[in-house]
Amino acid sequence: MGVDAASEQGRRPGLQAVAALVVVAGGLGGLWALGEIPGSSGDRGPAACSPSHGEQSSVPVSADRLCTALNRPDLPVLLGAPREQAETAYGSESSFEAADGHKSSTPQAEVDTKTYSVKLSASDDDLPVSDMAGLLGRSAQSRTVLGHPAVLYSDHTIAFDLKLGDDKVNSGTGGIAHHLLVATDRKDGGRTFEIAIWRNDDVTPDEAALYRIAERVLPTVPGWRN
């Protein structure tokens, strides 16, 4: 199960870090495995997208539409885990006002399987992808996805150690998350989609899976321009 820590701080998706939520309590882990916690898959089949909550997005796509696009039947195949299925799927809406008064909307969606977490977000902060490579750290590399400018970068997840009966929560560095920031149009006008993947076992995810997802999912999202 994955969560995005930086999104709670109101930062744009291109600068967000993801966090892997690691539950080590035996009781809670057992309930999840048995499908007794809301959102767990059990024997009910793949998870459906839950209705999003939050502020209305100003970009041409809602969190619900992002979730629908991402939560596709072949997502486990694209991830390289064809025997798995979506266990949770949901979207959320948020906004951030920069120091210059510009407001950026950030609808986002996340789908989690047993092994992988995948996040898809949209932004309208008027910052071209071509300007982002220098802001996303040494791992950032300029790329092209379906003819659109893109930036590939990686960062570490944050692992949380939650123990039942103990008020103390420990955190530390987790595994690697791969991100692909892609302009919504070939002209790189400042609107972007971002896809991030990470593994819940802290193993480095397959970078090729990120491209497979981008090439299949992004053309189905409202606001994408060929």
> What is the average pLDDT across 4-16?
39
Does any domain span residue 202? yes
Does any domain span residue 115? yes
- Cα distance between residue 89 and residue 211, in whole Å: 20
Using the predicted structure, report yes or no on whether residue 70 has a pLDDT greater than 50.
yes
Using the predicted structure, report yes or no on whether residue 221 has a pLDDT greater than 80.
yes
- Cα distance between residue 27 and residue 157, in whole Å: 24
Using the predicted structure, report yes or no on whether residue 50 has a pLDDT greater than 60.
yes
- In total, how many domains does the chain have? 1
Does any domain span residue 133? yes
Does any domain span residue 94? yes
pLDDT tens readout for residues 179-194: 999 999 999 999 999 9
Does any domain span residue 226? no
Does any domain span residue 225? no
For residue 99, the enclosing domain spans: 2-220
> What is the average pLDDT across 166-191?
82
Q: Name the more confident of 3 and 122.
A: 122
- Cα distance between residue 94 and residue 84, in whole Å: 30
pLDDT tens readout for residues 21-39: 333 333 333 223 323 334 4
